[in-house]
Amino acid sequence: MISGINPLGLIRRKDAFDDPDWVFELKHDGFRALAYVDAERCRLVSRNQHRFDEFDALAKAIAKDLAERRAVIDGEVVCLDAEGRSRFYELLARKGRPYYYAFDLLWLDGEDLRDRPLLERKAKLRELVPEKDSRLLYVDHIEASGIAFLERVCEMDIEGIIAKRKKGLYREGTTWYKIKNAAYSQAEGRGELFDRRRSRPGSTPEDS
């Protein structure tokens, strides 16, 4: 199985846009993680190649759900409230039950998918993720209508949206935009909080 993949980065963009060649996803507020699944074992690895040992129970749940499959998935470790919205401070404090929101599939059962178009990778991912009763969840998308989508996201107090080209590859040079909700309630104090945690020995918090 391939390993040591560097997740695609996000470029901040101020305004949402409409474009038929793009899709838009919810930006879930958590820790970015690659899931390496290999025959009933799973490792969750941060974008800086640190293993998330504190989420071993979640990793075991993902491995169980995928049974004998071998895969590399890109996604986000999150905690959710009763309405299904991610709650970053609960995740940071390890107070809530973590879930893994999967939004891309890079490798599956011996096949490298990174040179396949985004929508083809997402179609395979959707088939892979259980439909219910799982801590492995699928990040759906809408096509073309980013402006109205962001407006709705802001009304729901969600962090923002991600914009991706439908035919984009998972390779260096591919652009993903993050477009944030300027009034997001959990953004206040985030920078100061991370500065404090980074100053503690052995602490490596990694927001997305």
Q: How confident is the model at residue 191 (pLDDT cuts 50, 70, 90)?
A: low
pLDDT of residue 188: 75
Phi-psi region of 8 (alpha: psi -120 to 50; beta: other; left: phi over 0): beta
Structural domains in the chain plus CATH codes: 10-189 (3.30.470.30)
With helix as H, strand as E and coil as C, how does 57-102 read?
HHHHHHHHHHCCCEEEEEEEEEEECCCCCECHHHHHCCCCCEEEEE
- Return the minimum-mean-pLDDT range out of 11-20, 158-167, 198-207: 198-207
Determine the Cα–Cα distance for residues 75 and 206; give it in Å rounded to an integer. 13
Q: How confident is the model at residue 208 (pLDDT cuts 50, 70, 90)?
A: low
Backbone angles phi, psi at 67, to 5 degrees: 45, -115
pLDDT tens per residue across span 101-158? 999 999 999 999 999 999 999 999 999 999 999 999 999 999 999 999 999 999 999 9
Catalytic residue (one of 14, 27, 60, 64): 27
**Would you call 27 a catalytic residue per the annotation?**
yes
Please, which residues have CB within 8 angstroms of residue 61's CB and are 6 or more apart in sequence?
Answer: 134, 135, 136
pLDDT of residue 201: 43
pLDDT tens per residue across span 26-85? 999 999 999 999 988 999 999 999 999 999 999 999 999 998 899 999 999 999 999 999
CB count in 10 Å sphere of residue 17? 15
